[in-house]
Structure 1
């Protein structure tokens, strides 16, 4: 992926999170000014306070262009790339910023989306996929080696075959000053055609707030999204 696009991921996510937080804060201040101080007790976290952004995907103009099915299962929609080369699940609270979608030479499609959880959980995850309609099969091992280096992965890939795909995947657990960080990734190759797609998932704390992240639970989400990928006939 191009360097400028890698750098822009962080800025896009910060913009999304910042706008979300600022809008919520402004609305709260306006309500307090109109209604005066509230006498109600705040709801506890375990009571499941909802988030007004839970259905961002179907409301975001650019993201809607990718959706081919809504509510295909609880919490998820179905999306398809603009080159009609792949489909996968996308969380209902995720958006695809237009600046983070690129098509090169009508052969390679890069797409990144950010899913923001509610403000109580203070966490988010980002997903990046790079689809190649044709890749040089003789360079397959080189692709895997370079991808491993990019991910900072020193172990061996886990290899599985499913849904006419050959998948190589791994994960890296880390921690920054705000909390745990999970990086889950895979390279998926079509067994029938020389199509390929790389997949990256990263879970982290939202903004500059500390949070608790279950690496096991986030890995389950990452795995679910990866296994939802289907390479379509080109």
Structure 2
């Protein structure tokens, strides 16, 4: 029950962050319209028409994580502050400084959010990187992760980017509405680095929305399989 309450509280926080980000973006656009002499963001010089879709570039804290812009259509490349991993982030993704933490220079948590406004869906992605874990405890990590995600099924297994990947997914509903969760634990095949990945999609606000499990899983896998652990 405590884990469930923490997850619900996190979702509430993410909704607030998303709303604040949208409000800040609207205020910026209004100020720009009122003062034609205001200097435009550099991304406009790159021929971008819809700045609302480039929040990662314009959001100061998020921008500090980006190592390559437009690495493919709709996505940038980000790197953790401990230089332990890289992965894709959607171009409208936002990392709040309230949802980022490092510990002893060997562990890092990054949470970023993005939304699909036309379909009223909100996404959050959480990655937890660890530079070293005790050898032989892989199954213990997987068991704890399964419990934390309220998952009663069996992991599926694959290998990608020199990583051994255990993953699962499910759909459920709570007081905020329906949601879909996709998650995985990724162990380095070469050393004792690991990273956990959690992807959640939910309805934004009180609007009804529909989830296509296959389509959402495709997005989750795209992000998860983009993860690369860097040499330490």
TM-score, L = length of structure 1: 0.82
On the 8 A contact 1:178/1:210 being kept in 2, the answer is no
Corresponding residue number in structure 1 for 2:59:
60
Q: Could you tell me how far 1:210 is from its partner in structure 2?
A: 1.5
Q: Output one character per residue of 1:58-116: Cα deviation in whole Å (capped at 9) or x when no partner.
A: 00000001000010111000000000000000000110000100000111000100012
Alignment of 1:23-102 (within 5 A): 52-102=51-101
Let me know the Cα RMSD of the aligned residues: 2.7
Computing the radius of gyration from Cα coordinates, the structure with the larger value is 1
| Correspondence for 1:9 | 10
Q: Secondary structure at the match of 1:87?
A: strand
Residue pairs, 1:147-226, within 5 angstroms: 147-176=145-174, 179-226=177-224
Which residue does the alignment assign to 1:112? 111
For residues 124-178 of structure 1, the C-alpha deviation after alignment (integer angstroms, 9 at most, x for no partner) is 1100000000011222110000001111111111111221110000001113466
Instruction: After superposing the two structures, state which structure 1 stretch, 134-143 or 218-227, moved more.
Output: 134-143
CA distance in 1, matches of 2:209, 2:66: 31
TM-score if structure 2 supplies the norm length? 0.83
Cα offset, 1:16, TM superposition: 2.5
**Other-structure match for 2:33:** none
1:18 aligns with 2:19: yes
Contact 1:121 1:211 survives alignment (8 Å): yes
Number of residue pairs aligned between Structure 1 and Structure 2: 212
Unaligned runs of 5+ in 2: 31-48
Looking at structure 1, the residues matched to 180 and 15 of structure 2 have their Cα atoms a distance apart, in angstroms, of 18
Q: Give the whole-Å Cα distance in 2 for the aligned partners of 1:5 and 1:76.
A: 29
Ranges of 4+ aligned residues in structure 1 off by more than 2 Å? 2-12, 16-27, 50-53, 175-180
